[in-house]
Amino acid sequence: MQQNESNGAIGAIERLTVGDGTESRDIAMVLLPQRDGNTLPHLLWLGGYRSDMTGTKAVELARFAEERGTACIRLDYSGHGASGGAFVDGTISRWLEEALAVVDHARARLGSQRLVIVGSSMGGWLALRVAQELRQRGRGDDVAGMVLVAPAPDFTSELIEPNLTEAERASLAERGFFEEPTPYGPDPNIYTLKLIEDGRRNRVLDGVIDAGCPIHVLQGMEDPDVPYTHAVRLMEHLSCDDAVLTLIRDGDHRLSRPEDIEKLREAVSHILEPS
């Protein structure tokens, strides 16, 4: 057990081993317990590519859960934040396996209340895949709803592959990865051939997405990474009647300004306690 004080105290970090043998990695998570007698669904935070559970939205969601007295589950995927494993080994399937393992662990630890999944960027893709996998296991009712923030489903095949330069294609073929500068930190983003190939096997925008729950999408129209037309396309694939898209005219990809956080709280509150 250890304490992470970034962005304020976020609770004790616990570790869960996922995978066997050479695939074994320690996944860091923070489980905020439910207040006694509270019957609201639990909140599950799924962050974005190279994000971790100490980010603004993740911490604000935990604070919101604490205010409401409900449980909150956050994790760092392997290669992210406080978790073990190498980032370059990461794929959608690998990170999905970790998210599902944490969900099962939290279910045993915190109780079997339903989940409201809050997914940001790549976490929006993983949220949809978590719901699909739970449905395949006969646990579709476990998901009470989703809030997807600047969701990036199928980003490898929809947003990266079509825009690859000749140099990037050559790097993928010769080195198995390419690097891309990012405004979010000093280190470049790394995209591996393994990630891109695995992304094709996890596509969700190739048919109807039957999530079986209400979904609220928050999307900035000034998002330089995930165009708002991508969110519109996602809406066209969702089968649920209760699917809402909120476009934020001056919103960027992070949607972490105070006014954006307030919209996130409102969206989660609406799904958590529908009127």
Which tens digit of pLDDT belongs to each residue from 213-265?
999 999 999 999 999 999 999 999 998 889 999 999 999 999 999 999 999 99
Chain segment 131-190, per-residue pLDDT in tens: 999 999 999 999 999 999 999 999 999 999 999 999 999 999 999 999 998 887 788 999
pTM over 0.75: yes
Q: Which residue has the higher pLDDT, 218 or 273?
A: 218
Pairing of the two strands 2-3 and 25-32: unpaired
Least confident of 4-13, 29-38, 60-69, 175-184: 4-13
| Measured CA distances, 62 to 31, 43, 87, 164 (Å) | 9, 8, 25, 37
CB atoms within 10 A of CB 229: 10
| CA–CA gap between residue 238 and residue 263 (Å, rounded) | 21
Secondary element (H or E) of residue 234: helix 228-237
Mean pLDDT, rounded, for 197-206: 98
The dihedral built from the CA positions of residue 210, 207, 92 and 272, taken in this order, carries a sign that is: negative
pLDDT of residue 10: 58
pLDDT of residue 275: 74
| CA–CA gap between residue 98 and residue 82 (Å, rounded) | 14
- Cβ-contact 71, 103 below 8 angstroms: no
